[in-house]
Amino acid sequence: MTDSMKEELRKAPFVAVMLDETTDISNVAQMSYVLRYVTDDGIKERFFKYEDVTEDKRAEAIATRLLEFLRESGCIAKVVAQCYDGAAIMASGLNGVQAKVKETIPQNKGFDMQFCLARVDQLQRQIEQEKGNFDSVYDETPALVSPPRGRGAQGDVHAWYRELHCSVIDSLLTQISNRFSDHKKLEFLALLDPQQFGHYCNYFPTAALNSLMESYGGYFDQPRLHTELAVMYGMSDILGKSPADIHQFLLKKGLSESMKQVSTLSCIILTIPVSTASVERSFSALKRIKSYSRAVVD
């Protein structure tokens, strides 16, 4: 960790941790640590280190390593979000890692949230409807693929495949529910949805504010935040601005203190990661380094 990165972390009000695992060309399981935070210059996603996790990939061990890293970095009290990829090793212990980390950092949570949640619900309904389409799928499949070779299913083949069909759909529905179970807690992101500011002038988003207080209430004075948001929604200079633009606007205009609650809200929203793309890029760099080192040795 460089001195400049340490200084950025020290000044950052909030931090999100992004974690992923890959097996390199040496057959070593490497864990990549990336932290996301907001500075006066904007959003930063910094790669901090790799760690060999070949010997112990259990959720408890991964969570212990992560918490130790956060303590060493001096930012464990600032963590407000965690983001993991669904890689093979991480997938099996994903919920366990999140749960273990939340025991120590309860305020963290791993743009149109209402739209996204509605699409998830729509997807679940469509998948559920596929249960009733088994007969058509069963009839069409032979025209698309060859009959299976080797030992055939015993007994009623039609019934056997129907049961398999339903099992696959049930598994999909369960995985979708698990993956998006916490997303409803992110309803507060709508508070800074620039497309809704005009509407919010007349109809304040109380449900979104309550969602924020439920997840991050310790960081806010609710009455003051309500007042600041109501004022902001009516400001023509802010109308249509994204959370990043709002954050920069408050800094440049010297309003970060007078509208401190909104500034804090924008920082939290900007800190929450949307993907592990930065972690994936670190793996690409690792692969290039390993390949180069191996070529030099050879």
Q: What is the pLDDT along the chain (298 residues), one digit of tens a residue?
A: 678 888 888 899 999 988 877 776 667 778 888 899 999 888 888 888 888 877 877 778 888 888 888 888 888 888 888 877 643 333 344 455 666 666 666 655 444 455 676 788 888 888 888 888 888 888 877 777 776 555 555 667 778 888 888 888 888 888 887 777 666 678 898 899 888 898 999 999 999 999 899 889 999 999 999 999 999 999 988 888 889 999 999 999 999 999 999 999 999 999 988 765 544 454 455 454 445 444 444 4
48 with 9, same domain: the answer is yes
95 with 42, same domain: the answer is yes
13, 144, 209 from 265: Cα distances, Å: 11, 52, 11
Residue (of 198, 39, 181, 209) closest to 98 by Cα position: 181
Domain that holds residue 99: 3-109+277-297
**If you write DSSP's letter for every residue of 232-262 in order, what string do you get?**
HHT-TTTTT--HHHHHHHHHHTT-TTTTHHH
Q: Give dist(CA 298, CA 294) in Å, integer.
A: 6
192 with 256, same domain: the answer is yes
Domain endpoint, select from 165, 180, 195 = 180
CB 244 within 8 A of CB 211: no
Q: Give dist(CA 214, CA 216) in Å, integer.
A: 6
Residue (of 100, 92, 118) closest to 29 by Cα position: 92
List the 42-52 sheet strands across, edge first: 42-52, 29-39, 15-23, 79-84
Domain endpoint, select from 164, 180, 196 = 180
Q: How many domains are there within the chain?
A: 3
104 with 13, same domain: the answer is yes
98 with 151, same domain: the answer is no
Question: pTM for the whole thing?
Answer: 0.66
